[in-house]
Amino acid sequence: MRKIAFFEVGDHERAMLDAAEFPGFEVLRFPDQLNAATLDLAADAEIVSVFIYSVVGRDVIGRMAGLKMVSTRSTGFDHIDLDACRERGIVVSNVPSYGENTIAEHAFALLFAIARRLKVAHRKIRDLDFSVAGLQGFDLQGKTLGIVGAGHIGLHAVRIGRGLGMHVVACDPREDADLAEREGFRYVPLDELLRSADVVSLHAALSPSTRHMIDRDALRRMKQTAVLINTARGGLVDTEALCEALHNHWIAGAGLDVFEGEELISEEAELLHKSMSLEQMRELLLVHNLLRYDNVVLTPHSAFFTREGVGRLVQTALDNIRAYIAGSPQNVVSTGG
Ligand code: NAD
């Protein structure tokens, strides 16, 4: 019988995935990530559905001889080797826009937390200290918001920023002058954005060309009073350079829903019993370093995680599978062949 295997099934999506029916298919559901160690759970599956911590690399693809479709329950697809899929004719579908407002709202949650020093306020109140000492924040109205990547999510962030009375500039290799005029923002080169923005919010996908786009040089170009927000992908920011920037007060703070090593930190207790590579140890140390700062707020890649966002995400991933079975794949990021 043809098989569909759902990996990384979380409690928040179990009811929807359990209720989904695919006539003619055996449906398997696993809490595990799909990777070289777990693929034997469903090595003969025709369709797999994963979240972002599965590593659908060339080795995994090579060992799943019957694999014909990957449906990722995410927008980003940097965890899937598209070249290897293309060579094997495997269709890869993503969920292009389940949460443009959901992610953009989280970017502002991080920004407000920093602007109003909520991390410190929370700690003081817990200690029954009701003084305002150390809590002075800053307004967003009148400040310049710099959006890196004015796609689905970036555009929603533009609208929230405009609603708060911010000036908005954006950089994106694909410029649309009509859109900019309609939404009230201005395209500028990355260098100008970094130099002029009070808030730099990242919304570009991770690719070889965007990896570490916020490096030491970029951080040096930002205003000392500027805040960096990243809800896109950890790999966009060179974490070591960010630690240096925070230590030397090159910027005023950072709000990160995604960061290099985020997959390690959730497994930290397990890693203590396993051997860890030097690179993994370095990433963990850098994240611990970030946690020390009052002007850094981290969330565990939870920007997508609202009732409404998850509902739309899972529904679209299921629709993608049905469209593939019906012979007209949708939301395809790699067509194979
Ligand atoms: P999108 O494709 O609509 O927009 C990305 C934009 O980035 C595009 O307009 C593209 O032209 C632009 N871009 C590409 N290279 C660039 C560069 N070098 N500089 C500036 N802009 C560049 O994608 P989206 O739906 O807005 O999602 C953006 C990213 O957000 C996704 O790729 C994903 O990694 C991330 N995301 C995170 C979460 C989360 O839970 N934290 C959830 C969903 C998506």
Residue 275's pLDDT is what? 74
Instruction: With beta carbons less than 8 A apart as the criterion, state whether 118 and 96 touch.
Output: no
Residue nearest to atom 36 of ligand 1 (CA): 232
pTM, full prediction:
0.87
| Sign of the alpha-carbon torsion through 278, 72, 77, 300 | negative
Task: Report the DSSP beta bridge partners of residue 332.
Answer: 93
263 catalytic? Reply is no
pLDDT tens profile 161-206:
999 999 999 999 999 999 999 999 999 999 999 999 999 999 999 9
Beta-bridge mates of residue 256 = 230, 298
Ligand 1 cavity residues, CB under 6 Å = 75-76, 97, 99, 103, 148-154, 171-174, 203-206, 209-210, 213, 231-233, 257-258, 301, 303-304
HEC string of 245-313 equals HHHCCCCCEEEECCCCCHHHHCCHHHHCCCCCCHHHHHHHHHHHHHHCCCCEEECCCCCCCCHHHHHHH
Query: Chunked in runs of 10, what are the mean pLDDT values of the chain (337 residues)?
Result: 95 93 96 94 97 94 96 93 96 91 97 98 97 98 98 97 98 98 98 98 96 98 98 97 98 97 72 76 90 95 93 96 97 75
Structure tokens at 14: 């179990």
Going from the Cα of 307 to the center of ligand 1, the distance in angstroms, rounded, reads 22
If you measure from the C-alpha of residue 237 to the centroid of ligand 1, how many angstroms do you get, rounded to a whole number? 14
Residue 193 in tokens: 């954005």
